[in-house]
């Protein structure tokens, strides 16, 4: 029987897990994740850029369009599969939804996955699925599970000791479900030094790596010492293990080192030539892509850029779906394409994996998936009379699209297939999150048996270490 976890339960259990994690002793690498094991995999990638379309990006409205049905008053909602016509891409016979022409033109440089199947987590909550996507573990867990970026930071370390190994751009924690979002923006038992360096707004990225205006170095150092004292008096000081305390101290030292380094200019977008800046400037997300490019140039290991999750905004298209998706496509189309072109032209795409993904897809009628529907969370009228109901969506988990570029990923490749008629579910080569994660780790040279002993049991990068590499995504 599937356990139905709601927001309040999710928060209670993740908060308890955070305290439990802090109290643990030093995790240690087990024999099965030895250095010899890690060295046995030749790496095809050095860095990863994750472009996350938070909120549930409908596959039929983006990278896997179906029959287009134009809006008309009195139409049946069951008629609607795609609210945009399709447009050709650089791959013969492969079309995208209108509004994604720029990304379509660079698809000869990467792989299109059309068969990602999200997990069955019962009653659908965005932040639970986002937790699952970013950690590979279904919530709740008895410990705070590391984000994939934290695993990579821990196992590989920084390419440049000054630049944080894991940088997260674009997500605020002051919006709806902010506490739940924090649950997976964490290094968990790996320690604070491997957690994300957070930049909520790329236009003020430089503020994250310098003292406030008017603050002297001496005053800043005094504040830093006060902060350390406050940490000791809080939960970390009371419950944290020696390992966790030392890790927090190292993370603060790393931040201070960045503060005084010339590499900090990578966070200053005003340094970018105007022509380049304007090509990316579709808003926060576009400028986040520009910052990701600049940070990769300086040796960042893992960068996540999100369109940001806020309930009932962005990709969370419970109403005004068609209209809202027009704006979302304008936000992502040009900067994603420009990022891939710039990385390719500089030669960095060969060793930088770029991933475009979302927690799940959407459909007008099906909540969950056809053979395992869950409680409907939005009422879709049988007859559509108003434009606001055209393109409104429920949550759909049985057919999602992912784009992958660089870092050993095949070029000009299509993986998997969904049905052309509703319910537009995956019908060829289903792939789940543990396989996606293990494929990324494999490209980076991280062995599938990598684990740490936590609570007297091995804790792997994928659940029980069972994630399988999908070799069909990688160059031979």
Distance of alpha carbon 469 from alpha carbon 279, whole angstroms: 35
pLDDT of residue 204: 85
Residue pointed to by tokens 């609570």: 455
Within a domain: 234:
no
Question: Is residue 258 in some structural domain?
Answer: yes
User: How confident is residue 176, by pLDDT bands cut at 50, 70 and 90?
Assistant: confident
| Structure letter (DSSP) for residue 370 | T
pLDDT digits (tens, 9 = 90+) for 100-131: 999 999 999 999 999 999 999 988 889 999 99
Containing structural domain, residue 445: 7-211+239-473
∠ CA 44-45-51 to the nearest 5 degrees?
Answer: 140
Residue 111 near residue 413, CB atoms below 8 Å: yes
Is 121 in a helix, a strand, or coil?
Answer: coil
User: Per the domain annotation, does 223 fall within a domain?
Assistant: no
In a domain, 267, yes or no: yes
Least trusted range by pLDDT, from 31-35, 124-128, 190-194, 427-431: 31-35
* 229, part of any domain: no
Looking at the domain assignment, is residue 449 inside a domain?
yes
* Residue 417: Cβ within 10 Å count: 15
Of 287, 426, 305, whose CA–CA distance to 355 is shortest? 305
Q: Domain for residue 232, yes or no?
A: no
Q: Is residue 2 situated within a structural domain?
A: no
Between 467 and 255, the more confident residue is 467
d(CA 467, CA 464): 8
Q: What pLDDT, on a 0 to 100 scale, did the predictor assign at position 376?
A: 87
Strands (E) across 136-293 are located at 166-169, 197-199
Domain of residue 187, CATH code: 3.40.720.10
Q: Per-residue pLDDT for 52 more than 70?
A: yes
SS3 category, 449: coil
- Token pair in block for residue 169: 């751009």
Kindly report the pTM of this predicted structure.
Answer: 0.87
User: What domain count does the chain have?
Assistant: 1
Instruction: Give dist(CA 126, CA 132) in Å, integer.
Output: 10
> And the tokens for 267?
């966070």
Please give the distance of CA 79 from its chain centroid, rounded to a whole number: 32
List the structure tokens of 414.
Answer: 């299509």
């Amino acid at each position: 029987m599937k356990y139905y976890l709601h927001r309040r339960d999710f928060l209670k259990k993740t908060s308890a897990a955070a305290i439990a994690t802090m109290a643990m002793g030093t995790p240690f690498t087990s024999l099965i994740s030895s250095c010899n094991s890690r060295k046995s995999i030749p790496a095809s990638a050095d860095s990863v850029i994750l472009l996350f379309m938070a909120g549930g990006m409908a596959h039929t409205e983006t990278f896997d369009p179906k029959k287009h049905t134009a809006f008309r008053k009195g139409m049946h909602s069951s008629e609607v599969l795609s609210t945009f016509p399709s447009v050709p891409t650089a791959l013969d016979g492969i079309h995208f939804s209108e509004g994604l022409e720029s990304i379509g033109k660079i698809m000869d440089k990467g792989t299109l996955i059309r068969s990602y199947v999200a997990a069955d987590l019962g009653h659908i909550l965005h932040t639970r699925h986002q937790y699952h996507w970013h950690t590979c573990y279904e919530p709740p867990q008895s410990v705070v599970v590391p984000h994939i970026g934290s695993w990579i930071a821990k196992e590989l370390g920084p390419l440049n000791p000054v630049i944080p190994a894991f940088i997260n751009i674009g997500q605020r924690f002051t919006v709806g479900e902010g506490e739940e979002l924090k649950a997976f923006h964490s290094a968990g038992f790996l320690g604070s030094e491997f957690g994300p360096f957070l930049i909520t707004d790329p236009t003020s990225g430089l503020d994250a790596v310098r003292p406030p205006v008017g603050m002297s170095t001496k005053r800043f150092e005094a504040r830093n010492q006060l902060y350390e004292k406050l940490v000791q008096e809080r939960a970390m000081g009371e419950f944290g293990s020696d390992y966790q305390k030392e890790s927090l101290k190292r993370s603060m030292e790393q931040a201070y080192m960045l503060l005084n380094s010339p590499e900090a200019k990578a966070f200053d977008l005003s340094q970018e030539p105007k022509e380049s800046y304007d090509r990316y400037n579709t808003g926060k997300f576009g400028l986040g892509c520009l910052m990701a490019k600049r940070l990769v140039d300086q040796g960042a290991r893992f960068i996540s850029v999100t369109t940001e999750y806020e309930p009932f905004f962005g990709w969370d298209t419970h109403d005004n779906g068609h209209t809202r998706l027009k704006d979302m496509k304008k936000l992502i189309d040009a900067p994603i394409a420009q990022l891939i072109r710039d990385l390719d032209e500089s030669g960095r795409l060969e060793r930088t994996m770029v991933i475009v993904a979302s927690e799940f897809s959407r459909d007008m009628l099906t909540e969950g998936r056809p053979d395992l529907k869950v409680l409907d969370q939005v009422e879709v009228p049988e007859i559509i009379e108003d434009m606001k109901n055209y393109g409104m969506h429920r949550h759909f988990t049985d057919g999602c699209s992912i784009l992958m570029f660089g870092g050993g990923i095949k070029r000009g490749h299509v993986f998997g297939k969904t049905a052309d008629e509703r319910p537009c579910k995956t019908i060829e080569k289903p792939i789940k999150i543990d396989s996606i994660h293990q494929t990324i780790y494999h490209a980076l040279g991280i062995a599938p048996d990598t684990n740490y002993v936590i609570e007297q049991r091995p804790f792997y990068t994928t659940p029980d270490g069972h994630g399988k590499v999908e070799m069909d995504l990688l160059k031979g």
